[in-house]
């Protein structure tokens, strides 16, 4: 089995695990009355084209920004890094955030693209990156859009979800990850 085949198998296994969680777990965002009819999410086929190498720029003095939410509130995040990458011969950037109160290493990357509101959730999609060490300027990390997912507010209005800020609206089509629930 090639490395690409192994990657696609791991991705499919993760998707099956998520589908089980959404169908069965008491903390699933899918309302209990809808879970019996839930037969799994709709995904784009795994596509290694959407696994990109991104160069990291670390913001030593992270700027605080307010992200609008799905329920008309705002939440405060810190812009901690910028990822620069090429896709389809074009160059793009995505900002990565952490909540001010977050002392972990997870980097939150909300984004919109040209599938948003058509093939994917109208509020955008998320990725969470968990680097194995503290990122430094010039580091290269893999961003895998195949793991892009819809936030919980896509399933139920009882959730409040941060919306991707305009700086993370990509002027391209990302046919990877979860489709519209």
How does DSSP assign 139-171, residue by residue? -EEEEEGGG-B--GGGT-TTS--BPPPGGGB-S
User: What is the overall mean pLDDT for the chain?
Assistant: 93
Q: Where are the domains of the chain?
A: 41-168
Sign of CA dihedral 146, 178, 100, 72: positive
Residue that is written with structure tokens 């609206």 in the block: 169
Of 3-12, 19-28, 82-91, 156-165, give the lowest mean pLDDT range. Answer: 3-12
Q: Each residue of 118-158: pLDDT tens digit?
A: 999 999 999 999 988 889 999 999 999 999 999 999 998 89
Q: Each residue of 25-59: pLDDT tens digit?
A: 999 999 989 888 999 999 999 999 999 999 999 99
CA distance 23 to 36: 7
Output the pLDDT for position 25. Answer: 92
Tell me which of 99 and 162 has the higher pLDDT. 162
Integer angstrom CA distances of residue 47 from 28, 56, 114: 27, 23, 17
Output the pLDDT for position 138. Answer: 97
């Amino acid at each position: 089995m090639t490395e690409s085949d192994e990657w696609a198998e791991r991705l499919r296994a993760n998707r099956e695990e998520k589908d089980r969680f959404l169908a069965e777990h008491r903390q699933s965002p899918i309302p209990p009355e809808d879970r019996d009819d839930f037969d799994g999410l709709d995904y784009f086929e795994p596509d290694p084209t959407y696994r990109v190498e991104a160069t990291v720029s670390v913001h030593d003095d992270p700027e605080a920004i307010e992200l609008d939410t799905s329920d008309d509130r705002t939440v405060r995040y810190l812009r901690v890094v910028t990822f620069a990458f090429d896709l389809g011969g074009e160059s793009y950037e995505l900002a990565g955030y952490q909540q001010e109160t977050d002392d972990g290493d997870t980097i939150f990357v909300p984004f919109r693209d040209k599938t948003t509101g058509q093939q994917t959730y109208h509020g955008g999609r998320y990725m969470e990156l968990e680097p194995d060490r503290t990122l430094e300027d010039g580091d290269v990390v893999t961003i895998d859009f195949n793991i892009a997912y819809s936030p919980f507010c896509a399933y139920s209005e009882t959730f409040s979800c941060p919306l991707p800020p305009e700086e993370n609206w990509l002027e391209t089509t990302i046919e990877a990850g979860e489709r519209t629930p």
